Structure 1
Amino acid sequence: MTALVVLVLLAVTGVATYVASEFERNERSDRQRSLAQRAGVVLERTTASPMRQAETISWALSGRERASGDTFDTLARRALPTQPLVSAIALSERVTAGGTRYVTRRQVARGDSARSLASRTVAVAGDDPRAAALRAVERVGVTRATRILPAGTSALAVYSPVLDRQNDVAGAVLTVYDTEAVVGALRRTMPRSVPFTVTMNGRPLPGADDRPAGGITHRVAMAGQPFEIVVGRNGDASGLILAVVGIGLVLTFCLGLLTFQTQRREEWAMKLVDRRLAERDAAEERFSAAFSHAPIGMAVVSLDGDIVQGNAAFAAMIGAERNRLVDKPLADVLVPAERDWVADSLGMLEPGLQRVVHAERRCLHADGHIVWTAVSLTLTRNGTGQPEHLLAQFEDISDRRRYEAHLKHLADHDPLTGLYNRRAFERELDRHLERVRTDGAHGAAIVVDVDHFKQINDLEGHHAGDDLIKAIARGLRQRVRLGDVLARLGGDEFAVLMREGGRAEARHLANVVLDAIREQHIVTSSGRTRAITGSAGIALFDGNEEATGETILVDADLAMYDAKEAGRDRIAEAATAETRQAGTRTRLTWMDRIRDALDDERFVLYAQPIVSLETGDTEQYELLLRMRDEDGEVIPPGAFLSVAERSGLISRIDRWVVERAIDLLAASGAGGPTFEVNLSGSSIGDEVLLELIERRLKETGVCPKRLVFEITETVAVADVPRAQAFAARLNELGCRFALDDFGSGFGSFYYLKHLPFDFLKIDGEFVRDCARDATDRLIISAAVDIARGLGKRTIAEVIEDDGTWQQLRELGVDDGQGFYLGRPEPVEHVIKAHMREAG
């Protein structure tokens, strides 16, 4: 009986050995075939995105006789960091003199090897490996791929024509693949023990294994080149068979023992299975609860890109029902222009090039509106390390994007009129000047200033002035041509960038702008109607190679002041390139007048009181600069300060004001007033000015605390570290600082952190209407809280009535300044009055 059992067991072992060998062979073949197909898909996905990038660069450079190197550099530097498998992108120009050849003009590369690979001249009729592809480009104008072997280095290159017609080929875009990185990407999709090789045109790529025996071959055609992926066997095929034979023999020997232990092991195994199932169910329950109730949108996505499951937040985000999300392609959730991103991301995640892909993408809501989202894609793998599915997370960032857009708008636009501000206008000038140099464009810059605007502000108040500025802005918007740029440079000064046309068109447009100003009227407090006029200056883009956006604006500004000198309500043109070279006086008029005023001591100082809102006592005075002309008439700072800043004379003026202020403080004695002195941004950090202040304070013995330096927060400080050292030194001397126009821009908080201010002067834009406007009161209250938290005092500007004064007191503002509290007067009169009150 025992012999019979042994024979039966041996027979069963033999049959089992045969079945196991057949099963293992079939399983191995299916596995090899699956791995080869998967490697082909990964190869296609990982190379698809670089090919699209090359095509995008090619089309961006098409249509020009000579491809723009700067444009190529910008596109290539933007593309290369997002393509781990690309080692270089190069731009070659087609040259026909002395035989058709391609000369590499530009290249962006990761390493020296890739750079040397791209930097070559290729003759189309030569034997260089790239010549065949370039000849194909010459014939049919299509994207081609070929294999290059310079200096023993293997790579893939993609060529595309710059233009789309056979006879107009201007060059080619070369994309050089890092073949070892390609092979590495494929290796990450293979189990470690499986050998494989990858060939192109029958030649293996570097980094792959030798061609395995008994391998399964999968063929892929990409960019006109045949690729073969050969996957070999996983380990020794005899392992399972030997295991089956061994088990059969052990079963024969241990039959009795196994019979005894069977029931006991079955009971233990069932308990283990129950425990594992319970743990799995608990984990799935936790994931399901977190997934379903997550506050952000989440979706489980198959490797084919279809949604398997989406949570309620995701369905609500795109306005869809949860049950209708199943089997919907994830790409369909995005706007059409961004749908390739899903496939590109899978091409990065599946081979392990990235663990997580983050991006900001636009989702399309069911009702048609755009939802901006921050998207994260994560690839999950099973226990064997094979890709299983994607987990997508969507966070709605529409509010943040709107806020960023609003901040960007505020940074580039005037808050009163909504027009471009000076910063944005100068940027547009520089862009147009580049077009003038490269494409031969024409055009002009027109600067317009409202005549006698200061009198309107002084006599009728800032409300009337602001209303007039807004009305003029509306009129200009209606008349300026589509495509031209309109801006408010500041105060009552507007500017127009005319992008097309010459002198005649510029004069016509300037007349149109002046007509818009002439249509405005203002009713004075006496009931009379007052006509409004303006003066315009024109600066043509006349091909001057040394011109910049700033110099063009200076020319137009100077021409505008020439129009004012000629009688106002008229147009003046800036000097052309020819007359400028001949040295005409038009450009230099105001700069010469400023120099003459400095040399002839024709600058004068006025002082406006700064009053304690609590006690009514005058705390200190702000010094205001004026200039007297040759006839003794006082000229306001708006007429000359902008010219002084652009011409570099502002530093000399600042030094004169500071020295004069210290002398006045010394003359007034120890009981004299405290002065606030305005400094331009270019003077902050001026070593000459710093030396002057130290020397004069030491020579006169003036208490440094009586000298407060004021800087406007909208004035750019070019070198903040240098300004920090400048302010720290003055602070050591005992001088104080005030930050003017606080809240009117976005530099305030940065300056507060890095410069030692003692006073915050709240911009008049928020002060004028604070008695009626809750938003203004909220901003002022916030400024007061910030100042108190930093141990600073607050000063409110432009106080024009009793109601505003009372409201500011309630809000906790410390001091005030404005016509209601005191008008500017010559500083000598102010000192005498102050000394009388003190004595």
Structure 2
Amino acid sequence: MDTDGTSLSEVLDAADTAFAVTDTRCRVRWSNRVMAELLALTPEQCVGRSLPALLVGAPEGPGEGEGADSVVVSLRTGTDQHRWLEVRCTRLNEGYLYRVSDVSRWRDSDVAPAERDEWQKALIRMADEDPLTGLLNRRALTRELERQLALGGDGALLLLDLDNFKDINDLRGHPAGDRVMCTLANVLRERIGNGHVLGRLGGDEFAVVLADTDEATAVRIADRLRNAVATIPVTGGVGTTRITVSAGVAGFGSGESWQAVLANADLALYASKDAGRNRVTVYEQGHYADTALRVTVLDRLRNALAHGGLELHAMPMVKLGSNRVVGHELLLRLEDGRQPRLGPGEFLPAAERSGLVLDIDRWVAGTAIDALVAHPYPGLRFNVNVSGRTLEDEDFGDYVLDRLAAAGVAPGRLGFEITETAAVTNLAAARSLAQQLRASGCRISLDDFGAGFGSFVHLKQLPITGVKIDGEFVRGIDYGSRDTVLVQGIVDIARGLGVSVVAEWVERASQVDALSRLGVRVAQGFHLGKPEPLTELLARSHGTWMRKPRLMPNADAAGEAMTLDAQNST
């Protein structure tokens, strides 16, 4: 309180500069009228929302010392209009004070017109645009959805997902897939109509925020877009085909969270997929048997990340012949004590679609590194899985290498597995991450290798150190099937390229014999050793880590359990 009885909030509220006070998580506790007007919200609507989410690029707290250097961010104010804002953040006792100034005019006057235009276009692309299609990116689109919810109007969210997009990448190549994405984006942009906001969530999934639109109108729009997409020809490689999309529609109103609306639309989308694809489904509360389960999955995962409840299990990788353990693959489990129990196959898809998998992958890598620090035995080596969404996280490689360097852990003790499908879907990002990690000494493997049409081409394009043969090729390897020829080819080519080979889903002793004859030296599966909690593995003395692991009691149980684990492994 000032000496004249005026409070600080009253002073800031009367200022011509935008101010906001947040908690330590950068969620708004108070904002003045200028800040609210800047965000197209009321001061009451600002409360509880993440300021960095509303101002993409704003710092999440101040830097070192008392304050932070200013950061200039772009705020979209119209279809093709932006304002340039200088954001400063100062530390308070229990949160932060943000000051935002509009610097559009002096930014524009500092540079020549041509240079200014290029600078603005570059900032727009970084802040809001998907680099491939030029549409809004995921962050900008969910921010728009959050804003519509805060404004209190009714509307609908439309999700569109290309059917069987993986086949296009496999049969025609990744460049053809990129061309399809760009063509699809152009068709949607032309047919969407005015007043609606279109964006690309990632991969082959698009979304449209339909403000002031009821569900019936949203369905008509979805059908119009679906029919337009069906006219797009895909040529090259193996003739001409047509593509289709599945769609999900979820209405929204005031009081809902954007995460819940997105989850509802996602349920409707996958109902369209399950019903045969190329159709539109409207979300109906209580219509799906597993609605309550799926909607609460993300809440359970967030709580598990914050308070414990995630657990890693270690699956031994065994050198055939000697039965010596040469490493462990770490598999993620949700052990939060709540019912129903969820396997990775049930919670990881939801985490990946929401983006929460980015935090989960960092938790897995960090936990693995912590275990390697606490147990410096050189023979203890881990492989962790990297999701397709994490390939898009440009800071993930730096995070891993910084953690390894700070801990003093030899990078060769930590390996990363990327599924071939995820790598092909985002080949440039997979190559960049693999190059960065491999250059520092980490191992990089392609998981489920052989599942893609152009598998051997990927060996040349990606700087990997190993491949893990897809379990489908191992399942019948001891029956004299065609899988023998394919596995032999993988082994021969990998050996010629200096790449290691691991076989998975080993369920019987006869598979071990068949793989050994083909030159496979390392394998994993329930016949060779079942997963166990990482804490139990680390509790044993060092010498036992390299002994022959525990086997399943019989082949039938091994086969059933191995199949489940292979489907559910992270």
TM-score bin, normalised by smaller chain:
0.3 to 0.5
Highest RCO, 1 vs 2 (Cα 8 Å, sep ≥ 6): 2
Q: TM-score when scaled to structure 2?
A: 0.48
Quick check: which has more Rg, 1 or 2? Answer: 1
